[in-house]
């Protein structure tokens, strides 16, 4: 199978693995982009197509389909933040987040949703974002869907998804089909370890190769340390080269100078870089309102094999429980089914010793449903806060208050009822003290009485949003609707940290659409030409 990344490198792409630098260097470009995920990749594509000289900075490594061997032991240390074990400060929430070229788009599960209409309406009412609506964003979503092959998935769902469908149908709960950004997918089910067949249309295979083909420069294993600024403008980005381990600094330093700087390091990395740089923040908003879609999980033992590691991981969903109350009422939740692989399941599952072994022995018969809680709309759901540790690296505090736990209990009940309706032999919430319930009646009583507290009830997340939120004024946000910083004229933020709330949907397509719009506006300004068409 052809490896387009290796072919591009052989053809002369400008890729600099900073761990190989023998000495420091200073480099100039038109635009420096920090981060190569959904925001950074789209920005690099559009700006390079406008004829601008672009430098991309990525802290993780460049890997490709040749390296993606469908093994968790390879993928998690190489492709994820903290080897897929990034956590909130109190260790109560585990966060899956990419750290490689392509960012989380290289390792996500391909689920693609447009920003829901009610979210745009909320942003207009509460953050003055009148420029953003279903109508104004429709063409941007459409063009990115076309470019990245976001299409209906017409292959029958795997057995894990069928459990959700069967239970929901018996209970009269509507479900929908998830669009996926794949082309020629082999239906393997290992999206989270990097696509070994180059089917997933991530930034690794689409926008970044396009930018490199136009002469953009990609630095990897280079940590963006601090922005230098004066007189209301950024002048340079100071970076540390990392050793080949990708963790420790090598001692070599790189300074990047440019006309404009785009921060797209994700909703933990972007606010952290701005905090380290000491950028103006008179209203103390930077790093606040960070949202996670806190996820609770229900595990079921089915009478037949499920083999939840096989087949496209997320193909069905239900928004039924998002629609039961006003968006700023009790937290609603979205239901989906995640893939299961041995390490991911074993490290998420509760318990230890013989009890844990007993559950793992049933691995092939396990169905799991997850509930994404829609945070950031209820007045008591203000999200978390990114701050800096003593070493300058980011920490995320995310308090789990009663408004979260109330929704978590409803979600655990809903998922258990669906699983029993689908024929489950037993169901257990992923919770340290929860037993295996053998009937819906038993589960209903048991879940109602479960103590829901941090570190007892397992909470995970793969969607980090906010921290550099958009608004109409600097009193309410860090950046404006274009992602432009309110206080530094040549600084933009282009990633999920822009969102002033969570979305209630997987965020990759929302980032693609919004960043495509904002990058096109930026390209017009910097090039002096009309906004470009999406290349």
Please write the tens of the pLDDT for every residue from 203-212. Answer: 999 999 999 9
For residue 386 the two structure tokens come to 């990114």
Q: Looking at residues 236-251, what average pLDDT do you find?
A: 96
Q: Please, which pLDDT band fits residue 532 given cuts at 50, 70 and 90? A: confident
What is the rounded distance in angstroms from the CA atom of residue 396 to the CA atom of residue 257?
30
Say which residue, 452 or 531, is predicted with more confidence: 452
Please write the tens of the pLDDT for every residue from 22-61. Answer: 999 999 999 999 999 999 999 999 999 999 999 999 999 9
What is the rounded distance in angstroms from the CA atom of residue 403 to the CA atom of residue 258?
45
Angstrom CA distances, 355 to 340, 349, 433, 519, 525, stand at 19, 11, 12, 52, 61
Nearest alpha-carbon partner for 86 in 64, 104, 67: 104
What helix, strand, coil percent values describe the chain, rounded to 5?
30, 25, 45
Following DSSP, what letter does each residue of 180-224 receive, concatenated? EEBSS----S-GGG--TTS-B--TTTTHHHHHHHTT-EEEESEEE
Q: Looking at residues 174-203, what average pLDDT do you find?
A: 97
Please write the tens of the pLDDT for every residue from 158-172. Answer: 999 999 999 999 999
Average pLDDT, the chain: 97
Please write the tens of the pLDDT for every residue from 498-527. Answer: 999 999 999 999 999 999 999 999 999 999
Beta-strand pair 14-17/217-220: parallel
> Is 138 strand, coil or helix?
helix
Q: Please, which pLDDT band fits residue 239 given cuts at 50, 70 and 90? A: very high
């Amino acid at each position: 199978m052809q490896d387009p990344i290796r072919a591009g490198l052989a053809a002369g792409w400008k890729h600099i693995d900073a761990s190989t630098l023998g000495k420091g260097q200073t480099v100039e470009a038109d635009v420096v982009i920090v981060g190569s995920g959904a925001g950074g990749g789209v920005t690099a594509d559009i700006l390079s197509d406008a004829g601008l000289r672009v430098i991309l900075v990525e802290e993780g490594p460049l890997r490709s389909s040749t390296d993606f061997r469908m093994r968790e032991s390879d993928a998690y240390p190489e492709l994820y933040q903290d080897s897929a074990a990034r956590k909130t400060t109190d260790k109560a929430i585990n966060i899956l987040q990419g750290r490689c070229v392509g960012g989380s788009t290289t390792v996500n599960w391909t689920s693609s949703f447009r920003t829901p209409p009610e979210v745009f309406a909320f942003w207009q009412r509460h953050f003055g974002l009148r420029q953003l609506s279903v109508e104004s964003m429709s063409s941007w979503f459409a063009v990115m869907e076309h470019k990245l092959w976001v299409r209906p998935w017409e292959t029958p769902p795997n057995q894990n998804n069928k459990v959700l469908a069967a239970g929901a149908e018996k209970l009269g709960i509507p479900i929908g089909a998830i669009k996926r950004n794949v082309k020629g997918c082999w239906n393997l089910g290992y999206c989270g370890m990097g696509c070994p067949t180059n089917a997933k249309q991530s930034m690794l295979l689409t926008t970044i190769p396009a930018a490199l083909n136009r002469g953009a420069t990609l630095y990897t294993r280079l940590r963006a340390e601090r922005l230098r600024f004066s007189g209301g403008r950024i002048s340079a980005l100071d970076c540390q080269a990392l050793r080949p381990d990708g963790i420790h600094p090598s001692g070599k330093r790189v300074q990047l100078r440019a006309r404009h700087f785009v921060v797209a390091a994700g909703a933990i990395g972007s606010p952290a870089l701005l905090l380290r740089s000491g950028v103006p923040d008179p209203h103390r908003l930077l790093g606040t309102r960070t949202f996670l879609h806190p996820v609770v999980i229900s595990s079921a033992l089915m009478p037949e094999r499920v083999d939840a590691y096989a087949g496209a991981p997320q193909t069905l969903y239900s928004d039924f429980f998002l629609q039961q109350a006003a968006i700023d009422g009790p937290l609603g939740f979205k239901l989906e089914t995640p893939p299961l692989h041995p390490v991911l399941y074993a490290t998420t599952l509760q318990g230890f010793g013989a009890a844990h072994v007993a559950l793992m022995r049933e691995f092939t018969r396990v169905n799991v449903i997850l509930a994404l809680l829609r945070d950031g709309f209820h007045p008591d759901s203000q999200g978390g806060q990114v701050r800096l540790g003593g070493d300058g690296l980011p920490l995320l505090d995310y308090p789990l208050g009663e408004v979260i736990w109330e929704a978590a209990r409803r979600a655990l009940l809903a998922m258990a009822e669906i699983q029993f309706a689908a024929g489950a032999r037993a169901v257990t919430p992923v919770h340290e003290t929860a037993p295996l319930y053998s009937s819906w009646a038993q589960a209903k009583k048991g879940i109602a009485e479960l103590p829901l507290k941090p570190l007892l009830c397992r909470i995970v997340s793969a969607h980090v949003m906010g921290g550099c939120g958009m608004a109409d004024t600097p009193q309410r946000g860090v950046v404006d609707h274009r992602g432009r910083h309110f206080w530094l004229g040549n600084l933009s933020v282009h990633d999920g940290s822009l969102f002033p709330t969570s979305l209630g949907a997987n965020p990759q397509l929302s980032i693609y659409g919004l960043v495509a719009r904002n990058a096109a506006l930026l390209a017009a300004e910097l090039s002096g030409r009309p906004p470009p068409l999406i290349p």
